Structure 1
Amino acid sequence: MNDVVFPNIPQTAHLPALAALGGAAPHLKAVYSRSEKSAKDLADAAAVALELSQPPSIYHDGDASSNLDTLLARGDIAAVIVVLPITMQPAIVLKSLAAGKHVLSEKPVAPDVAQGLALIKSYRELYQPKGLIWRVAENYEAEPGYRKAGEIIRSGRIGDVIFFKTVVVNYIDKESKWYKTPWRTIPDYQGGFLLDGGVHTVAALRVMLPYSFTHLSGFASLNKDYLKPHDTIHAIVKAGDHFHGTAEMTFASPTQTRPLADSFVITGSNGWISVNMVNTPGSSSQTIRILIKTVVKPEGKPEEEKEEVVDIPSKGVIAEQQSFFDAMKGEDDGLKLGDPLGALEDVAFIQAALNSNGKLANLTKLVGGVEE
């Protein structure tokens, strides 16, 4: 197994997930990055994280004999994990598929809907018929906690969903490790952090809510000049005739301290559910906490409220990798994790919110260039 990477996320997310999977993951044979130094740094980190006797082979653009084309020509490489700047990924996904490799590419699926549609079309026409697997690595979609919340909602515990809200408040300054990532300082793609991070929020809603979004109206703004082109979105969203809700996302908080608010609150006809990522006590890991409030109506007695709390450890990257590796072996877990069309819906949501300026956007029409 080969990891095509851009350092940071590979070292902090993908390598730990590979280590956690152990023998359930294919062997990491090589790494690639545009520079020799970043490739070597990742290879050294992989050797430590995966307890390898020697680091994976290094490939980079500084030497034609060890570039990406050379790597993809190797017959012993079955799959790649693509973790590159947003605008670079579609071309590398296609190059990898053309070389006969299975692909797990980081979110978002593409910089915009048009490129995503073209990428999905090429995959379905040229590479899916050959049995090649392409998944999008959206760890929020794969998080067992968000999926559990979706199961609870679909089971009818809170009745029929009638409305929802999501609030995401982030503080990004110029010293942030996320801002210092070179390709983020001058984003050549729509939305900046709103696209890169916002698709996480939309993906979580996608797996929790029982119906897909159909319409959106919103406004976007820039409140910190160094977070161009936009850093804040407020949107009203509708899922057909089923329910509606609001989405607030900002990376322009003036303070590191965030106001107290639930990340997700989904309200039904018989109760509500809130979902939050919290720190796990005594650990550096995180937990998804689900709070369920329902109305109980004992016969002949006043209504009562019932409360239940469910804590589920966060392991979205592990789950997305496991599902991808299983698919490579022809095993279907039935979860449809990493479906490129689902990831495209997330991009469509952000794109519509960025461009709406108060006008109603038809999300179904926006992604309608691909049929199931």
Structure 2
Amino acid sequence: MAIGVAIIGSGNFAKEQHLPAVKATADLQLKAIYSRSLKSAQTLASGTSDVDLYSDDSGIGRSYADLLARPDIGAVLIGLPILVQPEFIKGALLAGKHVLSEKPIAKDVPTARELLQWYQTSVDPSKVTWAVGENFRYMTKFLFAAKKVCELGKVRHFRVNVHNLVKQDNKYYLTFWRKVPEYQGGFLLDGGVHMVAGLRLILGSTDHLTVVSAQTQQLQDYLPPVDTVDAVVQTKNGATGVISLSWGSDFNDNVFEFACEKGVVKMQFDTVTVNGVEHDIEFDGKGVVPEVAEFAKSIVNGLPVAKRQSPEEALADLEVLEQMLQSGKTHGDRMMLHFQV
């Protein structure tokens, strides 16, 4: 029997990813949509039948708390602005709903750790589960690259170069909470955790990052507080690498490259080259469909969330990005990493 689910938030990601993913998952049945305004909830629900709408301006009986009180809703997908997500996560878990919340896990490591500790002490994880979405861990090209790196043995050296320019007419920039960020890093936090997650996936859990040193800057005056970071990093096994990320650059790069004991793996956009042999990875989506399906399957089978959806993995992603930003503030001080898994 399908699990009743509600989508919390009606932004671009909900429209383009959450809603299609729920519709594609046989284990889920969309029951409700919540948004701050009824108008935005109606926009998301357009073309979808038998879905109840809730919002802050819908009157008595149509609040978020009212949605959580419904016994026919067993899970929620939360995709709200970074700063407000923790309170919605807590509310849903306390109401006995399984939660899949969007990355980043929180605005900073202290907030994330507090939320994770609260979850572990205030909720029974064997009955109510909390997963944090990171769709890059489900994208075919990243999974293929990770497999090939593993096959070629110990990683010795690596580089990640992801540069692009978020223009002022970009649909994500036009969301107010991103346009005027009240959290560290701006687009570097919002988008950078994806790249960190992709890197950590390919490196594997046996050789996690241990230390970072970085420089940051703001190339575009409309992308505060910083939009570019260049970091030198090292892994537990001694591999060194460079992570260069920018959402304010005139460059257009997307390269993950790994020098291993038995050769080189290079992922550039949708092409993965292994020891000189190119493999064009057909784009099959951004990974949200299999991510949501795995979340639903774990609920149906009464299992803990998959490791790649765990809050601990999301905390590890956030820590790397945050320590890069902190190092930039101190002009390149070495920052140790303590929460890698």
Shift of residue 268 of structure 1?
A: 0.9
Q: Indicate whether 1:7 and 2:4 are aligned.
A: no
Structure 1 residues without counterparts, runs of 5 or longer:
48-53, 279-288, 294-305
Selected match of 2:142 from 131, 142, 146: 146
- 2:66 aligned partner: 70
- 1:179 aligned partner: 173
Q: Indicate whether 1:235 and 2:231 are aligned.
A: yes
Q: How does 1:60-209 map to 2 (within 5 A)?
A: 60-62=55-57, 63-155=59-151, 157=152, 159-209=153-203
Counterpart amino acid of 1:9? F
Contact between 1:262 and 1:274, CA under 8 Å: does it hold in 2? no
- Secondary structure at 1:80 match in 2: strand
Contact between 1:153 and 1:208, CA under 8 Å: does it hold in 2? yes
Contact between 1:323 and 1:337, CA under 8 Å: does it hold in 2? no
For 2:65 and 2:304, how far apart are their aligned partners in 1? 32
Selected match of 1:322 from 290, 293, 299: 293
- Secondary structure at 1:245 match in 2: strand
Distance change in 2, residues 1:230/1:216 (3 Å): same
- 2:248 aligned partner: 252
> What TM-score, normalized by structure 1, do the two folds share?
0.84
For 1:133 and 1:326, how far apart are their aligned partners in 2? 12
Q: Indicate whether 1:266 and 2:258 are aligned.
A: yes
Moved over 4 A (4+): 331-335
What do you get for the CA RMSD once the two structures are aligned?
Answer: 1.9
- 2:337 aligned partner: 363
Contact between 2:229 and 2:244, CA under 8 Å: does it hold in 1? yes
Shift of residue 18 of structure 1?
A: 2.4
- Give the greater-gyration-radius structure (CA): 1
For 1:107 and 1:152, how far apart are their aligned partners in 2? 26
For 2:326 and 2:41, how far apart are their aligned partners in 1? 37
- Secondary structure at 2:19 match in 1: helix
- 1:291 aligned partner: 273
Q: How does 1:301-320 map to 2 (within 5 A)?
A: 307-309=277-279, 311-315=281-285, 316-320=287-291
Kindly, what percent of the aligned residue pairs are identical? 34
For 1:332 and 1:290, how far apart are their aligned partners in 2? 33
Per-residue CA shift, 1:46-103, capped at 9, x if unaligned? x1xxxxxx24100000124201001101111100000000001011101100000000
- Secondary structure at 1:170 match in 2: strand
> What TM-score, normalized by structure 2, do the two folds share?
0.92
Selected match of 1:340 from 293, 311, 314: 311
For 1:262 and 1:175, how far apart are their aligned partners in 2? 22
Counterpart amino acid of 2:238? H
For 1:277 and 1:183, how far apart are their aligned partners in 2? 28
Contact between 1:43 and 1:55, CA under 8 Å: does it hold in 2? no
Selected match of 1:219 from 215, 234, 238: 215
Larger CA deviation: 9-18 vs 92-101: 9-18
For 1:170 and 1:128, how far apart are their aligned partners in 2? 42
Structure 2 residues without counterparts, runs of 5 or longer:
none
For 1:329 and 1:358, how far apart are their aligned partners in 2? 47
Distance change in 2, residues 1:82/1:253 (3 Å): same
For 2:119 and 2:80, how far apart are their aligned partners in 1? 19
Counterpart amino acid of 1:336? K
